[in-house]
Amino acid sequence: IALVQLGQPCVCLPPLRAAAEQLRQKDLRISQLQADLRRPPPAPAQPPEPEALPTIYVVTPTYARLVQKAELVQPSQTLSLVPRLQWLLVEDAEGPTPLVSGLLAASGLLFTHLAVLSHKAQRLWPRGVEQRNRALDWGAVGGEKDPPPPGTRGVMYFADNDNTYSRKLFEEMRWTCGVSVWPVGLVGGLQFEGPRIQDGRVVGFHTAWEPNRPFPVDMAGFAVALSLLLAKPNSRFDATAPWGHLESSLLSHLVDPKDLEPRAANCTRVLVWHTRTEKPKMKQEEQLQRGGRGSDPAVEV
């Protein structure tokens, strides 16, 4: 009678008791099914990692300036399209900055975040030397941050952040044995600069500016096999090299021009462009700041 008062069915009689038990079992089952529906399904088997593919290690030096974030967002979107790639971002700073850390975390890329502060003399020109050398240290000798495991097949590419890279470029460089080369668009005062090829070998360079450089190629125009860097672990860029000779200062330690491996259809296709971003005009910002009304510095640009 108490149960009836509570609105519960009376289960004092055996048939009713059995029916109530059946209902209870069904309720339990419904709850279990509802829980199952809420739970995400088990993960299907992962696609096999393309283990056979050598890893491309892309080295990008960066320094704090107005367009820094924008110029890192751009390449991160391109690099995200390339499988088996690790981005080595090296800041010209005392340590990793929150802006760059946040960007890398959000990028979805496999990355290594390094930082080395340039000497005062090197902060203007040539930029990025110490940062690229830091990446070479990491690749050749290892360091505290996840060096490539021994025996890793890979290639290192120095990708400045204002250039434009097509996806195809990365597939061209992936199977480099020593040093591979290709044309670069919009550099050296030309539509493109690049090696001259005959019978599949580099016989000269198509360039108009300082053609007597040992390697008249732009930083974006070559990639180096990791195995070669490990075989010549002291190879570095020379910060004291004359203007335009930075690339030669590294490559001269690594390879002879005749042993360069041509890519991009025997260096006839342009897959990377030496684009440069204009410095943004800040006239009104400067005006406002003089009046103490500059835009909110807490808003990250």
> Which residues are annotated as catalytic?
247
User: Is 62 marked within a binding site?
Assistant: yes
236 annotated ligand-binding residue: no
The window from 68-76, 129-137, 147-155, 224-232 that contacts another protein (CB under 8 A) reads 68-76
Closest distance between another protein and the C-beta of residue 105, in Å?
A: 7
Query: Both tokens of residue 33?
Result: 């099914």
Report if residue 47 touches another protein, rule: CB under 8 A.
Answer: yes
Residue 251 contacts by C-beta under 8 Å, 6 or more apart in sequence? 179, 214, 215, 217, 222
| Residue 57 annotated as part of some ligand binding site | no
Find the binder of another protein among 35, 43, 52, 124 (CB under 8 A). 43
Which one of the spans 120-128, 180-188, 215-223, 230-238 is the region binding another protein (CB under 8 A)? 180-188
Contact between residue 281 and residue 67 where contact means Cβ atoms under 8 Å apart: no
Question: Out of 20, 67, 115, 241, which residue is the one contacting another protein (CB under 8 A)?
Answer: 67
* Least Cβ distance, residue 119 to another protein (angstroms): 28
Quote the DSSP letter at residue 205: E
Residue 227 CB-density burial (10 A; 0-12 exposed, 13-18 middle, 19+ buried): middle
- Decide whether 46 or 212 has the Cβ nearer to another protein: 46
Q: 24 CB contacts (<8 Å, ≥6 apart)? A: none
The verdict on whether residue 240 carries a ligand-binding annotation is no
CB of 87 to another protein, least distance (A): 10
**Interacting span for another protein (CB under 8 A) from 79-87, 91-99, 236-244, 251-259:** 79-87
Q: Does 185 bind another protein (CB under 8 A)?
A: yes
Collapse the DSSP code of 233 into the 3-class scheme (helix H, G, I; strand E, B; otherwise coil) and give the result: coil
User: Minimum Å distance from CB 36 to another protein?
Assistant: 14
Nearer to another protein, 106 or 231 (CB): 106
Let me know the angle formed at the C-alpha of 68 by 185 and 97, rounded to the nearest 5 degrees: 135
Residue 227, token pair as written in the block: 């195995």
* 274 known member of a binding site: yes
Other residues' Cβ atoms within 10 Å of the Cβ of residue 297: 8
Q: Binding residue for another protein (CB under 8 A) from 166, 227, 252, 266?
A: 166
Distance of CA 239 to the CA centre of its chain: 24
Whether the Cβ atoms of residue 115 and residue 93 lie closer than 8 Å to each other: yes
269 backbone dihedrals φ, ψ, rounded to 5°: -120, 140
Alpha carbon of 168 to those of 105, 194, 195, 269: distances in Å? 25, 17, 18, 11
Grouping H, G, I as helix, E, B as strand and the rest as coil, residue 180 is strand
Contact between 49 and another protein (CB under 8 A)? Answer: yes
- Give 115: exposed, middle or buried? Use CB within 10 Å, 0-12, 13-18, 19+: middle
Angle ∠(245,59,100) on CA atoms, nearest 5? 125
CB closer to another protein, 188 vs 257: 188
Q: Please state the residue numbers annotated as binding site for UDP-alpha-D-glucuronate.
A: 61-63, 92, 127, 132, 160-162, 274-276
Binding residues for Mn(2+): 162
Bind-site residues: 61-63, 92, 127, 132, 160-162, 274-276
- Which residues contact another protein (rule: CB under 8 A)? 40-41, 43-50, 66-67, 69-71, 73-74, 77-78, 80-83, 105, 108-111, 164, 166-167, 183, 185-186, 188-192, 206, 208-209, 268-270, 273-278, 280-285, 287-288, 294-295, 299-301
